[in-house]
Every structure is written in C-alpha cells, then in structure tokens.
Amino acid sequence: MEGAEEIHALVSSRSRPWEKKFARKIQDEARYLVQNIEDENGKAFSPSARIGKAVSNIISFIVFGARYDYNDTPEMLPVLEDYMRLGQGALSLTNLGRFLIPEEKFVLMDKFYSLVRQEVERHRQSFDPTDIRDFIDLYIKVTREGQDPEIYTEWNVFRIIVDLYMAGTDTTANTLRWSLVHMVNHPGVQKRVQQEIDQVIGQGRVAKMEDKARMSFTEATILEVFRMSTVVPFGIAHATSETTILGGYTIPKDTVILGHFYRVFHDKNNFEEPYKFKPERWLDGDGKVIKSDKMIPFSIGPRICLGKGLAEMESFIFFTTLLQNFTFKVPEGENPPSEVEGLNTSTFAPYDYRVRAVRR
C-alpha cells in the first residue's frame, strides 16, 4: 500500500517510550481477565469470547484510547469477528491452501471503515495537540502539521487502523486460545510452567517483561505454541518489487508471494517430531532458550510484522498471568480439544472448546 511504509515508520519511531505504558495496560487487562474467569467458580466455560475481548481492549487502547467492559462489547468487535469467520472451514493437513472470500466480507469491511470514520470524527472534536492519547490523535497531529500530505491521507490511515485492529486482535487472541488447548492436553507442561511462575514471580504481582529472561521453560512453551499452532499459516501477502530468481525459479515483478509458515514449522527436517507439542525442544543442555532461524511466526526481513513486539508482550503477560492464577482442566466427561485441527478463517483458530479454571 502506498504510504504504508512511512506511516509504519512514524508509529515505530514514536512507540518506544510507550512500551512500558503498553505493558502496564496489558497487566491491567490480564487482571480483568482473571477476575472475569473467577466468576465461573471453577465451572466449565468457553474461554474464546473473553480472550478476544481482552486482546481487543489492548488494540482499542492503542488505536482509540479506550477499553471496554467485557459486558459492553464495542460495535467494532462483532463486525471484526463476523468478518474473520465468514468462509471458515476445517483446517487440516490436506486443505491448507483453500481460501474463500464471500461477498459479505466486503460489506463488513465497509461497515468497519464507517465505524472507524465515526471514531476519527469524535477524536477531532476533543483533540489536544499537547495530549496525544492514541494512534488517531497522532494521525490528526501529523496531518495538521502538514507532514507529507500525499502519504498521510485519510484513506491510508483508515487502512492502517483497520490493519492494526484486525491483525492485532485475532492473531494474538488465537495464540492464547491455542495455549489453553495445549495446557489441558499436557498437564505436565502446565505444572512446570506454574512451578517456574511460582519461583520467579510468586503470587503477589502480575508478570512483567523483565521476568521473561528468567523463565526459560515458560518462554519455550510459548514458542512451541507459536510453532505448533501457526495462527497465520501463510503469513501476509507480499509482492516482488522487481523480477528475481529464487531457488532456480524466476519470479516476475509484482507477483504476489505467500510464505508457507505452517509447512516450515511442521517439516521434520526442521523440527523433530513436528506434530508433537514439546517445549523442551527449545531448551539446550543448560536450560537456556535456543534460537532458530526456522522460527518465523512473524515473517522475516524488512517486512517483518509491525506488531511483533506487542504480540510477544501480550502472549507472555496474558499466558503467565492465567497460569499464575488458574490450573486449566478438561471438564469431566468431555474430550480434550484437538491440538492439530481448527477453523480455517483469516487465521487458524481452534474449534470452540470448554475448560475448567481451578483457582490455585
């Protein structure tokens, strides 16, 4: 998209001082999520919707400067969820390449744009150049300063807002949904993560990113969730800026390129026993986390996912806080959710499932 690189650079260059603020918001939201789950009193429930609302609140804060109570669903969230679910099907090892784009998706996208426009207008009415509250305020500020008017157009910024909201909600929410799927299927792994949480963090505070360096097994478990349950199996579409040769094949200029991340992560030449959930594969003999150039859930190169840092922050803080407070179990008489099959929507999501959250 023309102008996207400059807008992304603007966000990145000004986002560094916000990192601690983002972390605090994620910690706060993790507390809200725990409180909401506590209301179930250990009974069986589906965690999907409340996880989606928790993650959506982080993006809502960044883009719109607001969070919503779990009982007060913002109008944008169901529109987003409907958009993601249209054309869904079973994602198995045999149909990874199937894509369906129903006409209704374009209708929902128009509705989403309309809601964003309304939010921008509300921001214009309360805008204060000395108090930049969120991304929309930042956009208003740079346009009033006259910075690159051909780039910072309303249309370009609307598209970036939609990208941020959609990419920053469904992907991270599905990563957390998958993490609970794996925990109830592997109670031994869940117990080891909890032991590490108790040792490093304890029960008196919420996890912070500084803890991650001392929590190798927890980090390894999250990496294994990223690998085993690839929430964006084909990444985001890119295009060649010029004709190039790769692996002996000539790829013409302007060819749309998709990376088959799922295949990379499930190739036995890259990962031994790729269809088994094994966090220990990420630890060396000294218990330190192993880095691998095959681990590319956020893509690679200069077009790596803009939200990588935020997604990693959310995944660690939410996941750790949930296991700090609860032990997740399969409800009595029910089968554990599948670890390998799910819904083929815009992202790879687990089938809806139920768990019991037993207070620790």
Task: Could you list the residues known to form a binding site for heme, using ranges.
Answer: 305
Query: Encoding tokens for residue 119?
Result: 């939010």
Q: What are phi and psi of 257, to 5 degrees?
A: -120, 130
Dihedral sign for Cα atoms in the order 279, 285, 288, 289: negative
Return the closest-CA partner of residue 116 out of 166, 49, 162, 152. 162
Scanning the chain, the segments in alpha helix (DSSP H) are 4-15, 19-38, 48-64, 76-85, 103-126, 135-144, 154-185, 187-200, 216-228, 261-265, 308-325
Residues annotated as binding site? 305
Q: For residues 50 and 205, what is the distance between their CA atoms, to the nearest angstrom?
A: 22
- SS3 (DSSP) at 129: coil
Strands (E), the chain: 44-45, 90-91, 238-239, 244-246, 249-251, 256-257, 326-329, 342-344, 348-350, 355-359
Q: For residues 170 and 356, what is the distance between their CA atoms, to the nearest angstrom?
A: 23
Q: What are phi and psi of 344, to 5 degrees?
A: -95, 85
Task: Give the residue carrying structure tokens 């095959």.
Answer: 294
Return the closest-CA partner of residue 26 out of 220, 207, 213, 174. 207
